[in-house]
Homo-oligomer: A and B are copies of this chain.
């Protein structure tokens, strides 16, 4: 049935028939992540790892939970995501003033590999923004953030 159907019709099928917000953002994310992962592969980094290093490069040190909040990522997911970076020596953790807390920090080696990946990231980013148009991308960013705030407000509603 779909065997000889051109790619665009598969897109159309999915778009026209699955109106779910979640389905569509997940689908787009899979494609975008694959795209960045391929671009960053020569630098030995995955998309998530590159993002993590970028955030950590902006601050002196962050508590696990604060970093998780910035990333809108479950705390325990962050623990697992840090594992390969710790193994490579690209980040390190130290015990905080509050000895329950662990502070996460980028290492010189982490900055190094991050800078090495920068050109690949820039090329990938440029590829997208050029084709999307700067105005459109600004709009998408804005919309994604509105969407994010809506669903996080929802979880606050539930909890409170």
Contacts and interface: CB of A to CB of B under 8 A. Distances in A.
A62 interface: yes
Contacts of A66: 1-3, 10
A131 interface: yes
A34 B147 contact: no
Interface in A110-151: 121, 124-125, 127-129, 131-132, 136-137, 139-141, 143-151
Contacts of A59: 1
A76 interface: no
Copies of this chain, whole number: 2
A29 B27 CA distance: 9
Given A2-B69, A136-B146, A128 B21 contact: yes
A14 interface: yes
A152 to B, nearest CB: 6
A17 B48 CA distance: 16
Given A18-B55, A21-B125, 11 more contacts: A3-B63, A18-B51, A21-B36, A21-B137, A25-B25, A27-B73, A27-B148, A31-B72, A127-B154, A139-B139, A139-B143
Interface of A: 1-3, 7, 10-11, 13-15, 17-36, 38, 47-48, 50-51, 54-55, 58-60, 62-63, 66, 69-74, 121, 124-125, 127-129, 131-132, 136-137, 139-141, 143-152, 154-155, 158
